Amino acid sequence: MTAEAGTPSAPAAGRLAGVGVVVAGGSRGIGAGVVRRFAAEGARVVVLDVNEPVGLPVAGFVRTDVSDEGSVAAAFAEAAAVLGTVRVTINSAGIHHLAPVVDTDLATWRRIQDVNATGTFLLTREAGRHLAAVGGGGRVLNIASMAAKQGGANEVAYAASKAAVVAVSRVAALEWGCHGVTVNAICPGYVPTEMGADTRTEEDVARWSALSPLGRLGTPDDVAGLLVFLASEEGSYFTGQAFNVTGGMAMH
């Protein structure tokens, strides 16, 4: 476990003041935006990632391979030791690959399922076990994708993995509601981050932006705002949902 040197302590005020939060995949992209937003709301955040967070207001960091059962269990235990109680767990770790169905090899398929689907299952399971042990309820928030609902050309492995994220979230919501634990999936649309930057063009951005009635792509903060709401007391009656954060690209 490491912490960012010189990082200021979480503010005393905010909707999530003092709440222990774990963010998997919190070092980059949407996850990094989530870390910043939750810290600004007073949460104490531990990041689980293969990459160390740089310049983020974290209470701790555990290097974690989310596709490995032992790594996830050990990392969550370390995070819980720092935070005391992990009330909110956010699964934002994920990888992406573009290829037509006929050109998607089995190794690529398996790797994407291992990180995106299995990783979400493993961390969701750890969160459920922890919350059952400590009592008092909590939140599990899993980052899926618009592709989970409507697919996406050249995204067969990714779309399938994110559909699995939605399914895991709904089953856990059914099982854990009696313990005061809510579980939801969030389905962002196009949010330009480091993931996919090597293949994304200006033409892509213009074309995707035109799909939204708002005429723009999403940002990590657009996603983080919904997550903060769902993690707060105001979000206590929402569970088993797959929320679109797409700027109107998806309306169901």
Which residues, other chains included, contact 237 with Cβ-Cβ below 8 Å and sequence gap of 6+?
A: none
**What pLDDT was estimated at residue 205?**
86
- The catalytic residues are 158
Going by the DSSP 8-state scheme, the letter that residue 237 receives in this structure is T
Protein fold of 20-245: Rossmann fold (3.40.50)
SS (H, E, C) 63-93: ECCCCCHHHHHHHHHHHHHHHCCCCEEEECC
Going by the DSSP 8-state scheme, the letter that residue 138 receives in this structure is E
Distance CA 30, CA 9 (A): 22
Instruction: Locate the domains of the chain by residue range.
Output: 20-245
Distance CA 101, CA 45 (A): 38
| Residues of the chain scoring pLDDT < 50 | 4-6, 8-10
pTM of the model as a whole: 0.93
**What pLDDT was estimated at residue 118?**
99
**What pLDDT was estimated at residue 67?**
99
Q: Write the pLDDT tens digit of every residue in 51-98.
A: 999 999 999 999 999 999 999 999 999 999 999 999 999 999 999 999
Going by the DSSP 8-state scheme, the letter that residue 47 receives in this structure is E
**What pLDDT was estimated at residue 5?**
34
Distance CA 88, CA 181 (A): 10
**What pLDDT was estimated at residue 6?**
34
